[in-house]
Structures are given as C-alpha cells and as structure tokens.
C-alpha cells in the first residue's frame, strides 16, 4: 500500500536551531517525493522535490531508499519558516496523483 507518514504533528524550535521534519513512505517501487508548505492563510505550494536535488529557502531533503525516508532539514530555522509542512508521494502510474502525509506544524519561536 502507498502511504506517507509524518510522525510529528508539531515541531517547536527556537530561531537559529536546526530543524528536521521527518517523513517515511511505503511504496513498492521508485516513487517521486515532494515537500509542500502551507503558510498561514495561504495556499499549499511546492517547497522542493527529490528529483531536483535543490535547496529552497535553506531547506534540503535527501531521498533514502534504504530507510524509505525523505526528511526535510534546515540548519538554522527562521521565524518565517513557521508553517504547515506536508510530505507527499507520487507513484509511477500516469495518474499523477499525490498521497499526502498527515502534515507537521513547524513553530519557530523568537
């Protein structure tokens, strides 16, 4: 079964502290993984995806197929990073549909 698990509902850190939002997936194959972010009162938007291997707003995520994980990391959190973060998986079928994790609220305190 296809499944995305984000074990933490809430992650609270102080400004300047490192951040790691965990994401594990279950998929029989090679999926495409994404991180989407939703800032307060804004729509969901793409943060990054594993095939791009890019760093956006200081965030990075590496796909670990052995551990079936795609954790999101940032070395120094900023207050403006406070938001809801969703990990999502897209299978290789042509439907293009996404399976979302439960989401993690990141709270960066001053």
Partner 1 sequence: GAVVSQHPSWVICKSGTSVKIECRSLDFQATTMFWYRQFPKQSLMLMATSNEGSKATYEQGVEKDKFLINHASLTLSTLTVTSAHPEDSSFYICSAAADPGQGLKNIQYFGAGTRLSVL
Binding interface with partner 1 (CB under 8 A): 34, 36, 42-46, 49, 86, 95-103
Rounded to the nearest 5°, which phi and psi values hold at 55? -120, 120
Residue 45 or 78 with smaller CB distance to partner 1: 45
Give the nearest distance from C-beta 73 to partner 1 in angstroms: 21
Cα angle, residue 31 at apex, residues 94 and 101 outer, rounded to 5°: 105
Comparing CB distances to partner 1, the nearer of 15 and 22 is 22
Whether residue 70 contacts residue 77, with contact meaning beta carbons closer than 8 Å, is answered with no
CB closer to partner 1 out of 29 and 96: 96
């Amino acid at each position: 079964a296809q499944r995305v698990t984000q074990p933490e509902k809430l992650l609270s850190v102080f400004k300047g502290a490192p951040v790691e939002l965990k994401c594990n997936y279950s998929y029989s194959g090679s999926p495409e993984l994404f991180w989407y972010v939703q800032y307060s009162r804004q729509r969901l938007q793409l943060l990054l995806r594993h095939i791009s291997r890019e760093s956006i707003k200081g965030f990075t995520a590496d796909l670990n197929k052995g551990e079936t994980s795609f954790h999101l990391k940032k070395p120094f959190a900023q207050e403006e990073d406070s938001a809801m973060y969703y990990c999502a998986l897209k299978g290789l079928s042509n439907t293009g549909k996404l399976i979302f994790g439960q989401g993690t609220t990141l709270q960066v305190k001053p």
